[in-house]
Amino acid sequence: MFALQPEMKIFSGSANRELAQRICNYIGVPLGQATISAFPDGETYVKIEENIRGRDVFIIQPTCPPTNDHLMELLIMVDAARRASADRITAVIPFFGYARQDRKDKPRVPITAKLIANLLVAAGVHRVLTMDLHAQQVQGFFDIPVDHLYSMPVLIKYLRQKLTRQTVIVSPDVGGLKMASAYSQALGAGLAIVAKQRKSATETEALYVIGEVEGCDILLADDLTETAGTLTSAATILKKHGALDIYAAVAHAVLVDVAIPRLQKSEIKELVTTNSIPVRRIEGFPVEVQCVSELLGEGMKRIHNDESVSSLFKIDNDKG
């Protein structure tokens, strides 16, 4: 006789409950009841309010700002689920904070992304589902399965309607060239790159453009923007090289305070992103948010049913 599939249970931290609810609506499973609060001294309190013994538990929590608070909340929820005898615990992390700290680029610095992987496994996570990691090698920091999805198929549907003239996909730095190349192939567009120099943690300077952009619309493609320094400085130099309308597409729009005036004053016409984290609205500057609940929900369904997730990586190149 075949063993019955454990019942699926989905819980959400406080980082992005709206996305968690949309995922649940797509899957057709109610969002689990859990109490998450803070003690007067700031310590996090979690109580799962329903029976999860022997269940297949998914905990949705992007580790976006305040990063440390959301990370601790996730770890505590995982520990609560493990101690409540969950059969399997999958951490669904639409945005993986600390992914940029993936190597020792200076003496005596940590590899924090590896530390976070160790913490998640130690807490009791059996599997991770994430999206658009800043550095793909972070998958290798885990000794458990990691399913890495891409938001590009979701963003492409909108961008095909928006980009109607001759378009060039531009990587705003050398590290994003692979992603820009994938956008270029999917949209049948040209490819260029902006070389940059980082002045500080919040400032970058665009140095020169490699590729032909004159007389073309531009799509700046990147995995995330935080201060918007890389995007806005790239847009400035692209305009000087004769670019027409400039759009930006990023998977994760973290958008700290310094990013708001930069985008408002920039040459960028519109920012297209996802709801992997709650997105700030910017007065006088259009931000188009595409929902990734179906993408993540489909990944969760396939993990629960022990089906292949790899087909979700494919991009439909049909422009019709």
Which tens digit of pLDDT belongs to each residue from 90-136? Answer: 999 999 999 999 889 889 999 999 999 999 999 999 999 999 998 88
List, edge to edge, every strand of the sheet that includes 204-210.
204-210, 190-198, 167-171, 217-225, 246-253, 268-274, 287-290
Reported as type and span, the H/E element at residue 137 is none
What does the pLDDT read at residue 167? 95
Q: One-letter amino acid identity for 95?
A: F
Give the confidence band of 219 by pLDDT, cuts at 50, 70, 90: very high
Residue among 49, 48, 98 at smallest CA distance from 71: 98
Q: Tens of pLDDT along 162-203?
A: 998 999 999 988 778 889 999 999 999 999 999 876 666 666
Q: Is the domain defined by 8-149+294-309 classed in CATH 3.20.20.70?
A: no
Structural fold of domain 152-290: Rossmann fold (3.40.50)
Find residue 187's DSSP bridge partners.
Answer: none
Q: Tens of pLDDT along 274-287?
A: 999 999 999 999 99
State both tokens at 272: 């297209």
Find residue 272's DSSP bridge partners.
Answer: 249, 288
> Which positions are catalytic?
196
Quote helix, strand, coil % in the chain, to nearest 5. 35, 25, 40
What does the pLDDT read at residue 281? 92
Give the confidence band of 316 by pLDDT, cuts at 50, 70, 90: low
Q: CATH 3.40.50.2020 spans which residues of the chain?
A: 8-149+294-309, 152-290
Residue among 246, 251, 243, 242 at smallest CA distance from 231: 246
Find residue 237's DSSP bridge partners.
Answer: none
CB within 8 A of 1, min separation 6: which ones? none
Residue 317 pLDDT exceeds 60: no
Residue 254 pLDDT exceeds 90: yes
What does the pLDDT read at residue 218? 97
